[in-house]
Amino acid sequence: MDELCDDLLLLGVRPDGTLAIPANLRFGISGAELVRLAAARRVDIVRGRIEVLDTTPTGDELLDAALASMAVGRRGGPSAKAWVARHRPGLVHCYLAQAVTAGTVREERGTRLGFIPVTRWLVTDTARAAEARARLEAVATATGPVDQEQAALAGLASAAGVALVAFPGRAGSAARKRLRHASKRDQAPAAATSAAAAVDNATAAAAAAVTRSALDAASRAATDAAVQAATDAAVNAAVNAATEAAVHAATQAAHSAAAHGGAAGGHH
């Protein structure tokens, strides 16, 4: 799960080696942070809301900032959808800066038309970008079930708009459809099975003098269930937030066009 945020960033690589930064990328990255925190057992998802379990720093500055923003209020933690959709200024740029520090991408500044400032993000670690692409292609070409990490990558890549960059046009429509399908797998039975396994293993552990192996099994099952719930919540929240943002943008554009049209008509 640790590569999830960086994978989403690197999946926007254009054929010329520069990064495309879709407007919805921030939703995908927020969703990926939620999944990563669940996998690290820092948070859980309870009835659609984020429950902070452990505020111990993860060692990742950006992930720690995400965890801090989930601080519990009087009414409990935020809903997963509200948190993923929350406006966090500079989020994508922070991950770009992190990638620059890691030597994965390079920032190039210049001008267009001689005076308009522009910034290009050039991928320098092509092997790392190829790894991200291979992970997404593995899901896009799979014919069987996918695991939690693959489901998260597929759903978040679709919501963030990078799936369209990776598989553009009509030729990529089948791959994009497969990614959307992979992210919508019925995971409730699996989550329920994992949760039930956690209870069963914990009970067995108590009956058997609480052996270490049983406790480890219960812990793994509980973690799997938490990640499962977080994956579902993060993907759904990112998709919903991205969809709502697109609808809002389209509505605003329509209103603007109507206003300009009305103004233009008034001059005749």
Q: How many domains does the chain have?
A: 1
Q: Which residue has the tokens 């935020």?
A: 78
Residue 244's pLDDT is 63
Q: pLDDT (tens digit, 9 = 90+) per residue, 151-207?
A: 889 999 999 999 999 999 999 999 999 999 988 754 433 333 333 333 344 334 434
CATH of the domain at 196: 1.10.3630.10
71 domain residue, yes or no: yes
pTM metric for this prediction: 0.76
263 domain residue, yes or no: no
Average pLDDT, the chain: 80
Q: How confident is the model at residue 218 (pLDDT cuts 50, 70, 90)?
A: low
261 domain residue, yes or no: no
Tell me which residue range forms the domain holding 82.
4-254
139 domain residue, yes or no: yes
Residue 73's pLDDT is 59
Q: pLDDT (tens digit, 9 = 90+) per residue, 19-43?
A: 999 989 999 999 999 999 988 889 9
Task: Choose among 95, 64, 94, 78: nearest CA to 233.
Answer: 78
User: What gap in Å lies between CA 9 and CA 28, rounded to an integer?
Assistant: 9
267 domain residue, yes or no: no
43 domain residue, yes or no: yes
69 domain residue, yes or no: yes
268 domain residue, yes or no: no
First to last CA, the chain: 60
Q: Which residue pairs, CB below 8 angstroms and at least 24 apart, start in 131-139? A: 131/3, 131/7, 132/3, 132/6, 132/7, 132/10, 132/11, 133/10, 133/11, 133/13, 133/166, 135/3, 135/7, 136/7, 136/11, 136/163, 136/166, 136/179, 137/175, 139/178, 139/179, 139/182
